[in-house]
Amino acid sequence: MNAHLPFAGWLICAALIVPRLVSATEYPLPAENSRLIGENTTAQVPNDKRPLESIAARYQVGLLNMLEANPGTDPWLPAAGSELTIPHQMLLPDTKREGIVVNLAELRLYYYPKGENKVIVYPIGIGQQGIMTPSMVTRISQKIPGPTWTPTPNIRKRYAQEGVKLPAVFPAGPDNPMGLFALRLAWGSGHYLIHGTNADFGIGMRVSSGCIRLRPDDIEALFNSVSENTRVQVVNQPVKYAIEPDGKRYIEVHQPLSRNEQDDPQTMPLPLSKALKRFINSSESDKAIIEAALKRRSGMPVLVNLGEAVNHDQIAPQNALESAQEHETGQESATIGKS
């Protein structure tokens, strides 16, 4: 299943989504030479005939993260009584630990409160195919309580193709698709924002027009925590890896962002930097486990030390997938996956 679902499918399902029940996930900040945070948990699907999004919201996880961790799960009607992995363990992105960091590939926002030894992680929605959220290093230029929304002609046209007629201007208030709070980014002409939503759907999915979308309580908490000029870095790192202080080596692989309808995020190529290839080829790394993790793309850290026991449920390839192929290019970044 291609987890990057079409734009129209998520518009029509808004009425099925229930409110989330918990706030953002906070983690103690690890030492500078460590990037592993959190622990995975499990949950049983209740017999309430609600979609997977209701469970994702309850545990403050994005929908795509749930689908990566639990392949084959029906997003509309997960089997009652089945056990799901809740992916609460992760590696911090390879970035400066300051302000806001967004990793597009994992659809998560990391907030590092100044002077506090913690990181707060929020699931997010990002830009659709063709209107992708760009990578950038910028800052918050404006905090906007009660934003209005003026859809651009292109946005109005795209919604019209899905049978939705947009008004010229959405006034501020609970029915505004931007929610009740917005943070404008200084990048470009200032048309990218971190904002809320008027419906709890699409978080952890690619459904926006390029902005970064949070659940209502999450954007309110973030809005009240940050100040103007807070640093914001947006990266696209589908493959993260780390060597922890105790010598344990981990790799975390997410589905890369598809660029068109023909792309299959489960088999399309993954970027492999020179540093990552050195990590893979190290005598201390188990290449077989790494290759399986690159193919499985579970979105969860996998222990890859040579000779170490691992959780094979996280790396066992799906039967329907083709074998991954490595492409050496001799450039700064190579790829692995389907050519």
E strand or H helix that includes residue 292:
helix 287-296
Which is nearest to 123 in space by CA: 272, 254, 295, 251?
254
Catalytic residue annotation: 195, 211
Q: Which residues pair with 28 in a beta bridge?
A: 118
Look at residue 308 in the predicted model and tell me its pLDDT.
Answer: 65
User: What DSSP designation does 307 have?
Assistant: T
Task: Of 145-149, 259-263, 302-306, 328-332, give the range with the top mean pLDDT.
Answer: 302-306
Confidence at 210, pLDDT banded by 50, 70, 90: confident
Task: Please name the fold of domain 97-235.
Answer: L,D-transpeptidase catalytic domain-like (2.40.440)
Note the pLDDT tens digit of each residue in 85-142. 999 999 999 999 999 999 999 999 999 999 999 999 999 988 766 578 889 999 999 9
Q: What is the pLDDT of residues 25-84, one digit of tens each?
A: 999 999 999 999 999 999 999 999 999 999 999 999 998 999 999 999 999 999 999 999
**Comparing 47-61, 169-183, 191-205, which segment has the lowest mean pLDDT?**
191-205
Q: Who has greater pLDDT, 279 or 258?
A: 279
Mean pLDDT to the nearest integer, 238-258: 95
Integer CA distances (angstroms), 120 to 114, 200, 252, in order: 12, 20, 19
Angle between helices 287-296 and 274-281 (to 10 degrees): 130
Instruction: Give the whole-angstrom CA distance, residue 127 versus residue 155.
Output: 12
Name the DSSP letter for residue 170: B
Q: Which of 23-27, 282-286, 326-330 has the highest mean pLDDT?
A: 282-286
**What is the structure's pLDDT at 335?**
39
Domain ranges (residues) in the chain: 97-235, 239-325
Residue 311 pLDDT: 52
